[in-house]
Chains A and B, each alone.
Chain A
């Protein structure tokens, strides 16, 4: 069966420090991968999605970036964190178009980031 991992679970970082959040998926190949942010009391905002290694699409302008160095690895990064980057970051995956047509996205447990 497929599983999705995120780490760390919680992170407290000072303003201006770098960030690296990692997400890995097991039990499937060539998944679509997604990064979402959920600010306190708000809905989900799609930040990035990827349909393959090295292919990243950005949904909103920001100081965050994403990379996909391996098929089942998705990394969210920042060179200098802002206070407004605080939130709950969720990674998700879905079956890619080439394997089967399905709409369901499956979410990881999330990373709680607090920028002070």
Chain B
């Protein structure tokens, strides 16, 4: 069945370091792919999305490219800040284009130290 596999954490980086959080997916067809972020004590916020192969989603300096050939949607940021400390979730909808039921990855906790 459809699912996402996300890199396990926790990840600790120094400020201005390069970030990669890996996410691979298994799906029939070509669903939209998402990254959500959860700051401490808060709910999840949509960080970025890509709706088709080779699309690049970007927001707040984060980027992720929908790669069909490697079934991946890795999250990257060139220079992290302390304020990026959060838990990051990769997700895909179980049934594309319905807004219904998502598979969420287990989450990757990122801590950025000054």
How distant is the Cα of A95 from the Cα of B93 in the complex, in angstroms?
13
Q: How many residues belonging to B are interface residues under a CB distance threshold of 8 Å?
A: 24
Contact A103-B104, Cβ < 8 Å, known A44-B89, A109-B42, A110-B42? no
B34 interface contact, C-beta 8 A: yes
Q: Which range holds the interface residue count of chain A?
A: 20 to 34
Contact A32-B106, Cβ < 8 Å, known A44-B89, A103-B32, A109-B42? no
Pick the residue among A43, A49, A101, A104 that contacts B101 (CB under 8 A): A49
Residues in chain B near residue A106, CB distance under 8 A? 46
How distant is the Cα of A6 from the Cα of B42 in the complex, in angstroms?
11
Q: Is the CB of A97 within 8 A of B89?
A: no
A105 interface contact, C-beta 8 A: yes
Q: Is the CB of A51 within 8 A of B89?
A: no
Contact A104-B105, Cβ < 8 Å, known A32-B100, A94-B100? no
How distant is the Cα of A112 from the Cα of B43 in the complex, in angstroms?
11
Q: Is the CB of A94 within 8 A of B89?
A: no
Residues in chain B near residue A90, CB distance under 8 A? 43-44
Query: What residue in chain B is nearest A51 (Cβ atoms)?
Result: B100
Residues in chain A near residue B107, CB distance under 8 A? 42-44
A78 interface contact, C-beta 8 A: no
Residues in chain A near residue B59, CB distance under 8 A? none
Query: What residue in chain A is nearest B42 (Cβ atoms)?
Result: A109
How distant is the Cα of A104 from the Cα of B35 in the complex, in angstroms?
10
Pick the residue among A6, A32, A103, A107 that contacts B97 (CB under 8 A): A103
Pick the residue among B31, B42, B99, B104 that contacts A94 (CB under 8 A): B99
How distant is the Cα of A102 from the Cα of B93 in the complex, in angstroms?
10
A13 interface contact, C-beta 8 A: no
Q: Is the CB of B43 within 8 A of A43?
A: no
Known: A32-B99, A104-B46. 5 other contacts (CB 8 A): A43-B89, A103-B93, A103-B97, A104-B49, A105-B102
A-B contacts, 14 of them at CB < 8 A, read: A6-B43, A43-B104, A43-B105, A44-B44, A96-B99, A97-B100, A102-B97, A103-B31, A103-B34, A103-B96, A104-B99, A105-B46, A106-B46, A110-B43
